[in-house]
Structures are given as structure tokens and as C-alpha cells.
Homo-oligomer: A and B are copies of this chain.
Amino acid sequence: MVQQLQLSIGDKAFQELNEALEHGVSPELRRMLNGLPAPDAAHLLESSPPKLRSLLWRLIDREMEGDVLQELSDEVRQFFLDRMNVAELKAITEGQDVDDIADLLQQLPGTITRKVLDSMDSQDRQRVEVVLSYPEDTAGGLMNTDVITIRPSSTLDVVLRYLRRHQDIPEMTDSLFVVNRRDEYIGALPLSVLLTTDPSATVFEVMQTDLKPIAADMEDSQVAQVFERRDLVSAPVISENGQLLGRITIDDVVDVIREEAEHSMMSMAGLDDDEDTFAPALKTARRRAVWLGINLITAFIAASVIGMFQATIDKVVALAVLMPIVAGMGGNAGGQALTLVIRGMALGQISRTNLKWLLSRELMAGFLNGILWAALVSLIAYLWFRDPIISMVIACAMVINLSTAVIVGASLPVILKSMKIDPALAGTIILTTVSDVVGFLSFLGLATLFYS
């Protein structure tokens, strides 16, 4: 049954290795592991509990370690980086792309980063330092510096001969970038144009200027939107004064898109998007304790609201039976509004111009559902307890709570974001608090009025 969950990427080697694993360590296992492409070996490490993970890591050949580390998620990578000395760190950066080296170095303590940088040759060091000078979550932090540049005055024939002198061109090169004498980006020459145009044409004549360069300080989520909208494979990154600094490729953007999309879901459960699925129990428990502790405060706030109405509950115990329904339905309705708006914001759909419409739509939808379910719940409550007061009170409380919850759910992400607070993380907690408090307060409060 669970068998079919096994990842099958059409790579038999991966499955065979997984089977070999069940029979313990062997030279055969080592051979198979090191025969895997680095991303698959990394995936195997990420899918392994701690002990097995350390064991597998020791089996990986030195020269493969750097490639595997690049493919690991931050948290798992950190574990291995922490256990390496400077010489080992130097070794794994060799032959890596500049942006990947920068990623690694950013995870190390400052003094060690310095030591590794000092050990690199000056050209490489300079390149890495350029990338390191930009925050990790900007275009500058994402970019690579391996760019083939050409001059506008060259003919395509010259460009073709120039390329032929290369052993290889950088991966994901779909365009060559055209720069002027001051190294300023002025256009792009797609390989497709290079291959289909008369070689006697000059670069200037056929280059495309509609591929807008990306500013080095653009946020990575915006870079992702540009790539998605324009269906780009690579794009030039420029400095403030227009100089070409490097190039961003779609493979790095895909990682941004996945992380961003996962972030909201994980945050809503108080998890980090980089969370190691196979972290040890103690670490897991410690991390989650924080989130549970915050939720406990919420729970006690709700409890204290109930506490105010103990006398009423003592009089009509049916209130205790029904009160979680009011609170819960508010939480569910609000959660839908919250999730929809968080997704809309991630897609860049929510703005000043449409927010008002969205909020009134949510209020209307929440109110309609409030009426609908209030009627049903009210009927069931009456049939259950044969008490018209309780039946009427729960109906009013549900309409109040559902309407409040959807308005809070829909507006929270916008308010939190403008305060630079993560909407997914804080939004869920605040919404729960509000729907519990308003739910209990309206239901028990109205009941107290009518039963006194």
C-alpha cells in the first residue's frame, strides 16, 4: 500500500539503492550511492532519518560532497556544514557556481567565511564577494556571474567564431548579453536568433531590447513573478548604474517559487518552510513547543471569556454543549477568507483599488453563510434541547461570529503585511483568538441576557 508512495523518477538506480539500503552497508551500496546524480543523492539524504543520513553521508565520495550539499535544503545542509573544518569547506567550494558558493558561505559563521574566501584565488573571491554583497533574497543574491557578453558592433559570424573557441558555455544560456564599453547592458542576443540569422548581420541590428534587465536589489519573489510572466530562461542583472553584474537562471527561480508557495502552508501551521522532515524528536518537540505555547495563550483567552459566564452555564448546561459549534464555524469561515487573501497577495492580485470590493464580498459571503447555517443549527438545537431561547441565541451568535470572522480573516493579511509581520503565521493565531472570543462572547453573552 505505502509502496506506491515511493518516489519513482524513472530512475531505477534510485530504487535499487533504496532496496540495497534495507540490507545494510556494503561496497555495492557505496558504489550505487556515488553513481547517483547529486540531486538524487541529496533527495535520499533528505528522506532519511538522522542515523541513516549520517551513515549515507560518510559513504559519499569527497568529490561529490560539494554537489550534494548544493542540493540539500538549508536545515539539512547546516547540519553537515557545522561538522566540517575549513579545509573541507574549501574543498567543497571548488568547481561550484558562484551563486552556490555564496549560498554556502552565508550559512557559515563570519570568521569561517573569511577563511574560506581567503583561500580562493583572487578572481573567484571577487566574484563571490559581489554576490555576497547582496542579501540572499534579492536578485543580486540569486545571480551567477558566469555570463557571456558580446559587443554590439560585432557581426554574428564573429560571435559564432568566438563561441567556438569556448570549451563549453554556461548552463542555461539561452541568450548572450550585449554590453557597451562601460559594461552597461544594452540588449540580448538569443541563441535562436544567432542560429537563424544571416551571419553577416551585426549584433546591434538583431539584438533584442525588450528583455528588461533586473535590478540587483529586486526582491526574489518579484524576480520569480518576472520570470513567470515573461516565460524567461535567464535574465541579466544590473547594478544601480546599469552595469551588467550577472545573470539569473530559471533553475534558481524555480526554487524560489516552490519555497514561496510552501511558505504560506507551513507558516499557517507554525512550521518553518525549511523544516527538516526527519529532524530528531527532541529538536522537533522543542521547535513546535513555541507555536503550541503561543496557541495556549489564545486558548486561555478564550477560556477566560467562558469563565465570565460560569453562572449562566451553571443554569443552562446546554450552552456548554453548543458553544464550540459557534466558535468552530467562525474559525472555519474566517480561515477560508484568510487563506484566499494570503494566496491573492502572493500572486500580487490585491491592491488598494480592489481591497474594498474584496472585503465587502467577503462580508456578504460570510453573512449569507452565517444566515444559512444559523438557521440549520438553530433548528437542530431546538430539536435537541426543546428550548426556543437557546435556538434563537445560537442563530444570532453564528451570524455575528461568521461575519466578524470573514472580515477579520480577509483584512488581517493586508494589515499584518503592512506591519511587516508574516500574515500566514500571525494571521492564523489572531484569527483563532478572534473567532473563539467573539463566538463565546456573543453566544454566552446573549444567553446571559435572555436567561437572566
For residue A449, CB closer than 8 A to chain B, the reply is no
Given A229-B37, A284-B361, A339-B271, A254-B251 contact (CB < 8 Å): no
C-alpha gap A319/B43 in the complex (Å): 48
Which chain B residues border A369 with CB–CB below 8 Å?
Answer: 285, 288-289, 292
- The residue that A285 contacts in the complex, of B196, B285, B364, with Cβ under 8 A, is B364
Within 8 A of B (CB), among A1-45: 1-10, 18, 21-22, 37, 39-40, 43
Given A299-B328, A336-B271, A368-B282, A5-B314 contact (CB < 8 Å): no
Within 8 A of B (CB), among A298-340: 298-300, 302-303, 306-307, 310, 313-314, 317-325, 327-329, 332-333, 335-336, 338-340
Known contacts A43-B229, A298-B328; 18 additional CB pairs below 8 A are A2-B352, A7-B349, A9-B226, A9-B229, A49-B357, A49-B358, A167-B196, A171-B231, A250-B250, A265-B268, A268-B339, A271-B336, A284-B361, A284-B365, A295-B332, A296-B373, A320-B323, A324-B327
1/0 per position for A226-244, CB-CB distance to B under 8 A?
1111110100000000000
User: Are A48 and B300 in contact, with the CB atoms below 8 A?
Assistant: no
**So how many copies of this chain end up in the complex?**
2
Which chain B residues border A279 with CB–CB below 8 Å?
Answer: 361
Which chain B residues border A361 with CB–CB below 8 Å?
Answer: 49, 278-281, 284
Which chain B residues border A322 with CB–CB below 8 Å?
Answer: 303
Given A196-B168, A231-B172, A278-B358, A43-B348 contact (CB < 8 Å): yes
Smallest beta-carbon distance A363→chain B, Å: 8
For residue A436, CB closer than 8 A to chain B, the reply is yes
Which chain B residues border A8 with CB–CB below 8 Å?
Answer: 222
C-alpha gap A376/B169 in the complex (Å): 62
Which chain B residues border A258 with CB–CB below 8 Å?
Answer: 228, 257, 261
For residue A434, CB closer than 8 A to chain B, the reply is no
- Stretch in A79-87, A112-120, A158-166, A178-186 with 4+ CB within 8 Å of B: A158-166
Which chain B residues border A314 with CB–CB below 8 Å?
Answer: 314, 317
Which chain B residues border A251 with CB–CB below 8 Å?
Answer: 231
Which chain B residues border A18 with CB–CB below 8 Å?
Answer: 351, 353
For residue A64, CB closer than 8 A to chain B, the reply is no
For residue A111, CB closer than 8 A to chain B, the reply is no
User: Are B318 and A310 in contact, with the CB atoms below 8 A?
Assistant: yes
For residue A442, CB closer than 8 A to chain B, the reply is no
